[in-house]
Amino acid sequence: MSYDRAITVFSPDGHLFQVEYAMEAVRRGSTAVGIKGKDCVVLAVERRALAKLQEARTIRKIVSVDERSVLAFAGLTADARVLIQKIRVEAQSYRLTMEDSPSIDYLARYLARTQQQYTQRGGVRPFGIASLFCGVSSDDGAPELYQTDPAGTHSRWKAQVIGGRNAKSLREFLEKQYQDGMEETACVRLAIQALLEVVDSGAKTMEVCVVRRGGKKETMEEDAIETIVKEIEAEQEEKRAPAAAASGGDSEYV
Amino acid sequence: MDTVLAITYKGGVVLAADQSNARSIISYQSNLDKIKELTSHSAMGVAGPNCDLVRFTEYIAKNLALYQLNHDGTQLSTKAQANFCRSELADALRKGPYQVNLLLGGFDEKAGPSLYFMDYLAALEKVNFGSHGYASSFCLSIMDKEYREDLSEEDALKIIDYCIHEIHTRFLISQPNFMVKVIDKDGVRVSKFGGDPADT
């Protein structure tokens, strides 16, 4: 018997197959990395190679949600568009009724609640996206990073990866490299370094955005990303070079 | 009872409104700001009950903010904003009307300054200058006489001062305080006011 036809049905061993299939859709999406530092949060997203005739500048992977928050997603782009619209309207609605800006926690909870609602209703399928939602709650608030998934869970992270086949190994990489209270330059570097593990080298393959304490958002210019990429690669070359010299020039250390 | 005035000049728009909030024989406050900012480069002078003033302007402002977020930071032109306001007024008209009369002024990079006159029945007209309320009887003729295509900001502010002086001299109801705002390429700023809205 197939227990994955209607979302409302549990399987005998307690699985919600539609939700798990949605998570598979997330794995097919492009990788997104989020790193929280002392005074900033950095989002770096893989930009997959486009078709030649496609206009690159119309594909924006890191979107503004509210004045002081941004969101990156992994998974089905169309589903993401719908969810992003919902959360944007909710943020403005909150501002209209409460005359105050919504906290990052509130919006992350709203996002997660919406995703969960689509796992417990007849006739609908879950959203095939996981998201990294980050920003600052107020002008003097600390930076926050949240992750949501198709099941509708949300949790706060210091650093997280979503999407792509290598999310697990990237997470381990981050666990080794992450340090509490990093400055912005260190955060940006770590985010790009993590992404370089899965994307082809080059600034054109990634989009990087920083949200700082105080609420200022900045999308990094390609040149700036390129500089950091070259620095990281030069460093890696140096690490490799002595090993090559020692083993006689032919190194399997890639 | 509210007085709202506006006049365009070469490089911007001046909006002015009285600051009194009263009903029957009681004056609630004399430092009310009736010129609500919508976006960084547009604002709306509103005549009408305070509840509709607040509800309508905040609703429009939040929807304009949503548009900006959805369109990667591009703002709606003043013309588009005015038409959006008009359509909201028209939709509400036969359900639960907003009893607001508006003068919406804005500055666009390409189109320059523009001013739109709207009333509570959802009429919309682009004008060079305008006024709402009893003030119209006193001020429209002054603006008609003094307005020219190439006014400077100083000229425009002087014409508004003439209008305010006329109101103070000839209008039966006392409106001692006026809020004057200017919209130009640098955005919306307060030129002067009679009562500080920040005073509680």
Which value does ipTM take for this structure?
Answer: 0.74
- Smallest CA-to-CA distance from A58 within B76, B72, B66 is with B72
Strand partners, A162: A32
pTM summary value: 0.83
For residues A70 and A209, the answer to whether their CB atoms sit within 8 Å is yes
A95–B contact, CB cutoff 8 A: yes
Our CA-based measurement puts residue A159 at a distance from the nearest CA of chain B, in whole angstroms, of 26
Centroid of chain to Cα A157: 11
Centroid of chain to Cα B59: 16
Our CA-based measurement puts residue A21 at a distance from the nearest CA of chain B, in whole angstroms, of 30
A66–B contact, CB cutoff 8 A: yes
Return the sign of the alpha-carbon dihedral for residues B134, B135, B137, B138: positive
Give the β-pairing of B101-108 and B112-118. Answer: antiparallel
For residues A157 and A145, the answer to whether their CB atoms sit within 8 Å is yes
Give the β-pairing of A69-75 and B4-9. Answer: unpaired
Give backbone dihedrals phi and psi of B130, rounded to 5 degrees, phi first: -170, 170
Give the β-pairing of A40-46 and A32-36. Answer: antiparallel
- Whether B62 sits inside 8 A of A64 (CB atoms) is no
Per-residue pLDDT of chain A (254 residues; tens, 9 = 90+): 455 556 667 889 998 888 999 999 999 999 999 999 999 999 999 988 778 888 777 778 899 999 999 999 999 999 999 999 999 999 999 999 999 999 999 999 999 999 999 988 877 889 999 999 999 998 888 999 999 999 999 999 999 999 999 999 999 999 999 999 999 999 999 999 999 988 877 777 899 999 999 889 999 988 999 999 999 989 888 888 765 555 555 555 55
Pick A92's closest partner by Cβ from B62, B72, B73: B62
Rounded to the nearest 10 degrees, how much is the dihedral formed by the CA atoms of A32, A156, A64, A125? 70
Centroid of chain to Cα A189: 16
